[in-house]
Amino acid sequence: MIYLATVIATTIMLYYALYVGSAVGPSIIGSFHLSFRFYVDITVVSNVIGALSSLIAGLADRWGRANLVAYGLVLTAAIVLFGLPHAPNGWVYAILVSAVGFVEGIILVATPALVRDFSPQLRRASAMGFWTLGPLLGSLVVAEVASHTLSPGLTPPWRGQFVICGVAGFVIAAVAIITLKELSPRLRDQRMVSRRDLALIEARAANLDTSTLLEKPWRQMLHLDVIGPALAVSLQLIIYYTAVGFFVIYFETVFGFSAHQANGLDNWFWAVNAGALVVTGLLSDRFMVRKPFMLIGILGTIAMTIVFLLQAGNTSTGYYTLVWMLCVLAIFRAVSFTPWMAAFTETVEKRNPALVATGLAVWGWLLRVVVAVAVFVIPFVVTSITPLVEYGPQVKAALAQVDNAPLVKVPYSASSQPLLRVVQTHASTFHSLSSYRDVKAIPAGTLAAAEKAVGVPALLAAKKYAAPLHVLSAHGALVARARTANPVQWQHWFWICVAGEAAFIPFIFLLVGRWRPRRARSDYDSHNRHVTEELAKISQQLTIAESTSIS
């Protein structure tokens, strides 16, 4: 339990470090003057590098897991505390984020392998439920810290978010170095169904040749029942990684929420998901089955994703309406994912219990590739994101300024018109006047022509509102079109997420495990009888050996 708690704390810290930039993404883009495409490509490259490091982590079956986790977190904390807050430009920032992604790919494989080592199969779903808290609570910590430290009156520079994260990372890393221990290969390379198997596993360990079990590891894992479910769950997780990277932007640009409110919505999603993961794990272990939970969970996830995406067409949807939708979606996601983690490690154990890290490396590689492709594709599906993120804040600020602009009398019209409309109508006239400091500097002929066209009061007001009017003239129409297209484009993306969720269903049947609790209980009773017989044989052999030694 101590090891499990340490692994969970380490995983939470790692994903806090990995996701912290998403809470202040618009500020980072503005600070480094990045295009949104460049910012997204940073995440793509980071995931590609993480995919490669996930394969490297398969060597944890030979090297062990504990040191990879503990010292990997030290490296991550150093990058986050000393590197990212002091990045001088966007390229350095991108390189450092990719370095964090490299470490994350390794720990993504090593931490669930550690959890498996210290949890028998009958408690596997509960243990994996707690492990899965890592990414979820990491996301929750990001949202929680950001929603408080980014509040009005408490707003530090975006770099401060990385400083907070880096300090916390060194604290957790120190705990991991002191606490985490490596299980003997002779013990971890066997399959443990329940705690009752411990005596048998220890008895067998002395004669276990681990070197033969580790021969040709990739060939042993490249089977449909390993690759298929690993790819399927990666596709199912597209909605999760969309939430990680883009929910704040989605809520801000579609529903008009502030960054504080958007992170608050994320808080609800991650918190409920975290609680449901643990409860689902306990229930799955209680009934000794995984597959019924996976099927119910994925069907509910598909239904709630559809309900959620339909709200994009109703931008007046209230804050707490979205809260309950996110909460129900989070619950169904948990019901499908926790039992999958347990069933997948049990399927790998059935192939070879000495190659659990290799099997998880296959999953880690596929997951990172799918995430990289998904993040790369999002801006091509939701093309409105780019103008809304790059120019939306400027246009919003400009509109706030000109909203207070005076009404002006136009000589040829008896009505008064808003200044913005006058300027847009006579754009060429105002452009020709932009180089003059004031009205007195304008040549008489030019002034007469301008006065005839729009009137002197409009010219005087135009000088005062020159900067916001320039922004609106340059980007206003583009942002307006993007705002109109944004909800529909997001719906298209969420339908892709639904397709990924549907792809999960057929691969449930390839994993080991029963559908009915009664059959699962019968298998467990049969296993117990086998363990009793094996222990009796070993005891008899020891008695004979002792008798022979005495004689």
Q: Which of 414, 449, 478 is the last residue in one of the domains?
A: 478
Co-location of 409 and 308 in the same domain:
no
Co-location of 142 and 24 in the same domain:
yes
Q: Domain count for the chain, please give it.
A: 2
Establish if 485 belongs to a structural domain: yes
Co-location of 364 and 381 in the same domain:
yes
Q: What is the pLDDT of residue 414?
A: 40
pLDDT band at 418 (very low <50, low <70, confident <90, very high): low
Chain mean position to CA 445: 63
Q: Which residue has the higher pLDDT, 173 or 355?
A: 173
Co-location of 77 and 26 in the same domain:
yes
Co-location of 315 and 450 in the same domain:
no
Provide the whole-model pTM.
0.77
Co-location of 147 and 232 in the same domain:
yes
Chain mean pLDDT for the chain: 79
Co-location of 193 and 133 in the same domain:
yes
Q: Are 52 and 106 in contact (CB under 8 A)?
A: no
Place of tokens 């450092």: 96
Full domain range(s) for residue 91: 2-393+479-515
Establish if 227 belongs to a structural domain: yes
Co-location of 498 and 443 in the same domain:
no
Co-location of 234 and 338 in the same domain:
yes
pLDDT, mean of residues 421-435: 64
Q: Give every CB contact of residue 413 below 8 A, 6+ residues apart in sequence.
A: none
CB atoms within 10 A of CB 373: 15
Establish if 541 belongs to a structural domain: no
**pLDDT tens digits, residue range 155-188?**
457 788 888 899 999 999 999 888 877 766 555 5
Q: Give every CB contact of residue 292 below 8 A, 6+ residues apart in sequence.
A: 515
Q: What is the pLDDT of residue 336?
A: 94
**pLDDT tens digits, residue range 99-132?**
988 888 888 777 787 777 777 656 667 777 777 7
Q: What tokens does 537 get? A: 């044989």
Least confident piece of the model among 63-77, 280-294, 313-327, 389-403 = 389-403
Establish if 422 belongs to a structural domain: yes
Establish if 542 belongs to a structural domain: no
Place of tokens 């897991």: 65
**pLDDT tens digits, residue range 186-223?**
555 555 554 655 554 555 545 555 555 556 777 878 88
* SS3 category, 196: helix
Establish if 536 belongs to a structural domain: no
Q: Are 80 and 17 in contact (CB under 8 A)?
A: yes
CATH classification at residue 269: 1.20.1250.20
Co-location of 222 and 295 in the same domain:
yes
Written as one string, the DSSP assignment of 63-107 is H-SHHHHHHHHHHHHHIIIIIGGG--SHHHHHHHHHHHHHHHHHH
Co-location of 380 and 408 in the same domain:
no
Establish if 533 belongs to a structural domain: no
Establish if 527 belongs to a structural domain: no
Co-location of 93 and 166 in the same domain:
yes
